[in-house]
Amino acid sequence: MKKVFITGGAGYVGAIMVPHMLEQGFEVTVLDLMIYGEHVLPKHKNLNAVKGDIRDQDLLKKLIPGHEIVIHLACISNDPSFEMNPVLGKSINLDAFRPLVEISKNSNVKRFFYASSSSVYGIKEEPNVHEEMELEPLTDYSIFKADCEKILAEYQSDSFTTSTIRPATVCGYSPRQRLDVVVNILTNLAYHKREISIFGGDQLRPNIHIKDMVEAYMVLIRAPKEKIAGQIYNAGYENHSVRSIAETVKNTVGDDVKLVTSYSDDNRSYHVSSRKIQTELGFEAKFTIQNAVEDLCKAFDKGLLPNSLDNEMYFNIKRMNNLELS
């Protein structure tokens, strides 16, 4: 039985990944601040969920030995949350990274997977933004993601296989729900307000369904180390315009949903190519934006996301604003 250590495992992606890995027979340890609640993870004999801080090196030295794989998801996520407390953001997103990698390598971990971001590319005019392109991150959040990629590359060795994923924006339902990313925002408003507003509309946004995001990590786990050693992979579905996403939401939620378009002078587009992970590892996204919208609507129908317009637990910046983290 493979033992996997997941930082941030009680986050948006982790809350889907962890149950899936348990079902696949893995033994999982999660280290997470649990600021969105411990209830997002299942009770399971092969799950050790630890409430703690990745900056606590003594805790890492205690927990990591014995694990074959580390998946590093933990971070202060998205630019607004990061910018609320840049010192905290840097301490978690950058300063804690090298010690985590060193402790993992010294603890005989075999594989280390890092969740970076497709935002490291900045704004590109090229239609297919691939992994070999120059990084031009625009914010501290993205700059630190790029910095951590470089740090991780220093530790790649025959006995310590490292890989980085640059995900598109994740969408869909999770027990630790986020309603502050484009597809999820629009679905929440369409379902409850029956009206959605977009600014501009021609801007491209890459997305990936949360189930596909989890599968991308499973593909890395299953791949021969020779294929993935030191490699970086984009992971996305398709690059859709904001207008196209809004129309998909409207058509899925209901014809009565009103779509309002306003002028925007911010026409920046973000788009990535996921051809490398497809051709080299055989990963191909199976779930669509429509599937993500449908999953969210089912969750709303079942009452799984109460008070979804106002509950701070669904909005990173609101939650961070009401916490006293240091």
pLDDT tens per residue, range 154-204: 999 999 999 999 999 999 999 999 999 999 999 999 999 999 999 999 988
CA dist 35 and 24 (Å) reads: 27
Residue ranges and CATH numbers for the domains of the chain are 3-321 (3.40.50.720)
This prediction's pTM: 0.96
Tell me, what's the pLDDT at 77? Answer: 82
Question: pLDDT tens string for the chain (326 positions)?
Answer: 699 999 999 999 999 999 999 999 999 999 999 999 999 999 999 999 999 999 999 999 999 999 999 999 999 887 677 677 888 889 999 999 999 999 999 999 999 999 999 999 998 888 889 999 999 998 899 999 999 999 999 999 999 999 999 999 999 999 999 999 999 999 999 999 999 999 999 988 899 999 999 999 999 999 999 999 999 999 998 889 999 999 999 999 999 999 999 988 877 788 899 999 999 999 999 999 999 999 999 999 999 999 999 999 999 888 888 887 77
